[in-house]
Amino acid sequence: MRQVNEEWRSVVGWEGLYEVSDLGRVRSLDRIVSYRDGRVRKYSGKVLCPGTLKHGYLLVVLSDAGRKESRTVHSIVAEAFLGTRPPGKQIRHGPDGPSVNTVKNLCYGTVSENQMDRHRDGTANIGTRNGQSKLTPDDIVTIRQSDENQRDAAARLKVSQSLISRIRSGEVWKHIK
């Protein structure tokens, strides 16, 4: 089996306490904690087990002596390996998706580039992925093939007449052929 070399760097703002790897793993470091009552305890470092947020992003909780912070793994990796995020830029994930936080799958980009990535990956909130959608792809095909007038089609589907017009002209629901 091939040995993978993993590069570890300090988590920005948590130097000496946590490190992050170019493969997207976060670990705590060995440390000794002194308590107010005089007790001293040694903690062994370990790789953290991230939780998963709603859209597949991974999250870890960093803590030390009363300070606690929840951070997404991709933001920790990007900050450590890509540098400080430029103003107006977002962290973009490559085609492997939001749960893959390797340096190779991350970059900084504009909001527009990030939205294009979502279309590329099939995760854009269009069609039935939009929580406000009242129509299905079958409805769209029927609307486009039907000779029914716009007013009747709109009443039957409980949508606006202008939406029926925009569907038939190809202005909306473009991804359904």
Query: Both 48 and 134 in a single domain?
Result: no
Q: From 44, 99, 52, select the one nearest 77 (Cα to Cα).
A: 99
**1 falls within a domain:** no
Q: Is residue 42, in this structure, part of any structural domain at all?
A: yes
Count of the separate structural domains present in the chain:
2
Kindly state whether residue 2 falls inside one of the protein's structural domains.
no
Task: Indicate the pTM of the whole model.
Answer: 0.70
For the chain, 177 residues long, the average pLDDT of each consecutive 10-residue run is: 80 96 96 87 93 91 89 97 95 87 94 82 69 79 88 90 88 80
> In this predicted structure, what is the pLDDT of residue 128?
66
Same domain, 18 and 92: yes
Of the CA atoms within 13 Å of residue 53, those in its CB half-sphere come to: 13
pLDDT at 27: 97
The domain that holds 34 is classified in CATH as 3.90.75.20
Q: Are residues 131 and 46 in the same domain?
A: no
DSSP class per residue in 1-46: -PPPP--EEEPTT-TTTEEEETTS-EEEPPEEEE-TTS-EEEE---
Quick one: CA dihedral 87, 70, 48, 1, positive or negative?
Answer: negative
Per the domain annotation, does 164 fall within a domain?
Answer: yes
On whether residue 26 sits in a domain, the answer given is yes
Assess if residue 159 is contained within a domain.
Answer: yes
Where in the sequence is the domain holding 57, given as residue range(s)? 8-121
12 and 88 together in one domain: yes
Q: What integer pLDDT is reported at residue 129 of this predicted model?
A: 66
Domain co-membership, 96 together with 141: no
Phi and psi dihedrals of 78, rounded to 5?
-60, -45
pLDDT score of 45: 93
Whether 60 is covered by a domain: the verdict is yes
Q: Are residues 54 and 32 in the same domain?
A: yes
